[in-house]
Amino acid sequence: MDRNGQCWCGSGKKYKKCHLSFDEKMDSIKLDELKGHILPPRSIIKTQTDIEGIKKSAKINDAALDLVASRIKAGIDTETLNQLAHDYIVEQGGIPACLNYGGYPKSVCISINHVVCHGIPSKDTILREGDIVNVDITTTLDGYYADASRMFMIGKVSEEAEKLVKVARECMEKGIAAIQPWGYLGDIGAAVEQHAHANGYSVVVDLGGHGVGKKIHEEPFVPHVGKRGTGMLLVPGMVLTVEPMINIGGYEVYTDSEDDWTVYTEDDSLSAQWEHTILITETGVEILAK
């Protein structure tokens, strides 16, 4: 590519001042070292303009989760929380990205106890003392997406539930800590799996994280089990979610046959999940949405 021509990423900068050094680094990686690995496509490498757009969306998304955190309590119905987040996002100029995505009927996913993910808010679903609840929100602003979820403990919860929520967060944090520029996707899952199993828990394998930014779901799929040094090469400019779903019982799950969205643990055991949107930088990672 012409060093003085515009960069392939669409930033408008000259190639030599944008992604030339990046491409030289990619070219320096020997093919035999990548045997069994996958190079990320250029389409998922974010420019500085993209990153700034995602950050603006993430600011709204984080604030929506903060708002839910200020109101969530025993006795409140999940539709009220859904509407609270929806209204806030719209007031800030954003769009609740989950609404109508693939036919999903609400703006937020709220998953309680043995619901692993994609719980559909309802006026009939009332939070009760002792529940553990995941609230998952995705916002789009000016075409850029940010995605995060948090766990909430309603009133006094059991010791086993409290430990699960704590360990699930630690699993996410260890997965994020395992990310290194020019490392591998499998490093994330290996770190998550090791910590979950050390605490006697299982990791859901049918669902995982994903690339995010210009779409709600992009490459790569981010498994939360894995082997270090395997999978896609992780490079600066990639944005993805780390969101392990950790079960007290087995890892098996199933989807509700009636609503075709709600995912439950097969054995009705408790499940917990935390999610951050992560940017891989030249030196490590930056948390964009939490």
The whole-angstrom separation of Cα 262 and Cα 256 is: 5
Sorted by sequence, the CB contacts under 8 Å of residue 24 that are 6+ apart come out as none
* Amino acid making up residue 61: N
- CA 140 vs. chain centroid, Å, equals 14
Cβ distance 102 to 109 under 8 Å?
no
CB 89 within 8 A of CB 96: yes
Q: What does the pLDDT read at residue 136? A: 98
Token look-up 């003085």 returns 4
204-229: buried (b, 16+ CB within 10 Å) or exposed (e) per residue? Answer: bbebbbbbbbbebebbbebbbbbeee
Tell me which H or E stretch contains 210.
strand 209-211
DSSP β-bridge partners for residue 139: 96, 146
Q: Which residues pair with 144 in a beta bridge?
A: 141
Q: What pLDDT does 19 receive?
A: 83
- pTM of the prediction? 0.92
Model pLDDT, residue 122: 98
* Residue 2 vs residues 5, 15, 20, 118, 205: alpha-carbon distances, Å: 5, 7, 10, 47, 44
- Chunk the chain into consecutive blocks of 10 residues (it has 290) and report each block's average pLDDT, rounded to whole numbers: 82 79 72 69 93 98 98 98 98 98 98 98 98 98 98 98 98 98 96 98 98 97 96 95 98 97 98 98 97
pLDDT at residue 191 in the model: 98
Give the CATH number of domain 41-289. 3.90.230.10
| Site of tokens 């006026």 | 123
What distance in Å separates the CA atoms of residue 2 and residue 25, rounded to the nearest whole number?
17
What pLDDT is recorded for position 7?
87
pLDDT of residue 30: 57
CA-based nearest residue to 51, from 213, 218, 283, 287:
213
| Burial (CB count <10 Å: 0-12, 13-18, 19+), residue 67 | middle
